[in-house]
Amino acid sequence: MSAVRKEDSMLLQKQMMSDHYDRLASAHDEGRKVVYTFVPGNLNELVRSFGLLPVLPEINALQSGLRKKSGEYIAEAEKNGHSEDVCTYVKCDIGMLKKGNIGPTGTQLPKPDLLLLSYTGCFTFLKWFELLREEYGDVPVAMLHVPYQANGRIEPHQRDYVVQQMRTEVIPKLEQVSGRAYDEDRLREMLRLSARAEDDLVWTLESAKRTPSPIDAYFGGVHYIGPIFSAFRGTQGAVDYYTALRAEVQERLDAGQGPVTPEGPMGTEKYRLVVEGPPNWTSFREFWKMFYDEGAVFVASTYTKVGGLYDRGFRHDPDHPLETLADYCLGCYTNLGLPTRVDLLEQYINDYNADGFLVNSVKSCNSFSVGQLMMLRQLEERTGVPGVFIENDLVDPRYFSAANIKNRIESYLQMLDQKRGKAA
């Protein structure tokens, strides 16, 4: 393959992540405390309002996968007794810890001063933090339990339940670790910054409704969501990033251009697809190439909603700081039931004028993969749009069979062509 081409926004995001890992490496030497937490339902604004730095284990794992480091970490975890069937994010994280806890950019990750478990739809998170507590020893733990959206909507008693936990469990632990009192005005200001960034993120994602789409909302989209889903929500840095991203995408819209791929601008848009499930990180570029070589662009993705369904109207509200954090946690994609997920995908297929949809089923991620075949069948029945089902894994290179996946994709796109020919 040729040298990777990156958009300016991707380079900016990469620099932001590198700077964050540098800050983490020097945090304890500079007297700063760090909080380990997860992406879905993370309380980044609340954490940062206490002057604490977030560490997100999933981000460490996927970044290790992108850098081809995850295979050795997974092998190390399995050598220490972890099953092949365990989530590969977990094994990558534990293996990295066992090998010295050197982060993806080559800097040392600090020991957590607090483990903040925001439980939003993934039971594995509970076991993951149990393992981290065993590994790190006597580290305080704060648990935020977020109930499922059983009826496809947030009920007032659910919001009250989550807010009460923030007041009685989470905030006292953050005060204890940081040595600071809860400052609601500071939190409100961070929530204002979040809402500004969220507006530009939604504009970017919805630009894919245009033909040709100026973005790939899956492979490109995972770069776009990085700052807001990881360590930067609630910061001026996130606002600046999404301002720059929007301007960049607007230029392509004005020029009638499609997405930028690792090999430069994509050619003619031939297929518009919607995708369910996370991508494979260890062969990320190779996986993406299988689609852009065929003129296939992803116009909507559920994975890019795992850290919040902003395109459904949610924004962080500084006038109701704890309530809006509760709504954010309750509304993450992995906290939705299967009927709600199917409804969302159906809406994407219709709103983005998709020709087809892909289910990328991840072997070790039950919070995504359970029920996906049922979802595929229901979507085909409801929309009349054909789908395709493929399987691989998050960061375990043993479960990415490039030849099989490529054959499946090419056969599927040929079938879409045949369907178009019959319709014509």
pLDDT for 321 equals 98
CA distance 97 to 85: 19
Give the CA count within 13 Å in the CB-facing half-sphere of 352: 32
Q: Among 313, 292, 293, 283, which Cα is nearest to 213's?
A: 292
Q: Give the type of residue at 142.
A: A
Average pLDDT, the chain: 94
Helix segments in 207-274, DSSP class H: 221-229, 236-255
Residue 424 has pLDDT above 90, yes or no: no
Task: Read off the pLDDT of each residue in 363-386 and give the average, rounded to a whole number.
Answer: 91
Give the pLDDT band (50/70/90) at residue 91. very high
Which of 148-152, 335-339, 381-385 bottoms out in mean pLDDT, i.e. has the lowest?
148-152
pLDDT for 151 equals 85
CA distance 332 to 309: 6
**What SS3 state is found at 14?**
helix
Which of 140-154, 292-306, 336-350 bottoms out in mean pLDDT, i.e. has the lowest?
140-154
Which of 107-111, 134-138, 377-381 bottoms out in mean pLDDT, i.e. has the lowest?
134-138
**Cβ count within 10 A of residue 83:** 9
pLDDT for 389 equals 96
Beta bridge partners of 143: 117
pLDDT for 45 equals 97
Task: Read off the pLDDT of each residue in 155-169 and give the average, rounded to a whole number.
Answer: 97
Strand ranges, E, within 27-78: 34-36, 53-55
Residue 2 has pLDDT above 70, yes or no: no
Task: Read off the pLDDT of each residue in 228-257 and give the average, rounded to a whole number.
Answer: 95
CA distance 347 to 328: 21
Give the pLDDT band (50/70/90) at residue 419. confident
Residue 423 has pLDDT above 80, yes or no: no
Fill in the DSSP letter of residue 207: G
pLDDT for 302 equals 96
> Could you tell me if 216 and 292 are in contact, meaning their C-beta atoms sit under 8 angstroms apart?
yes
* pLDDT tens-digit series, residues 38-72: 998 899 999 999 999 999 999 999 999 999 999 99
Residue 328 has pLDDT above 90, yes or no: yes
* pLDDT tens-digit series, residues 381-404: 999 999 999 999 999 999 999 999
Which two tokens mark 184?
């609601």
Task: Read off the pLDDT of each residue in 233-249 and give the average, rounded to a whole number.
Answer: 96
Beta bridge partners of 142: 116
Which of 19-23, 28-32, 175-179, 306-310 bottoms out in mean pLDDT, i.e. has the lowest?
306-310
CA distance 342 to 339: 5
pLDDT for 4 equals 66
Domain ranges of the chain: 1-424
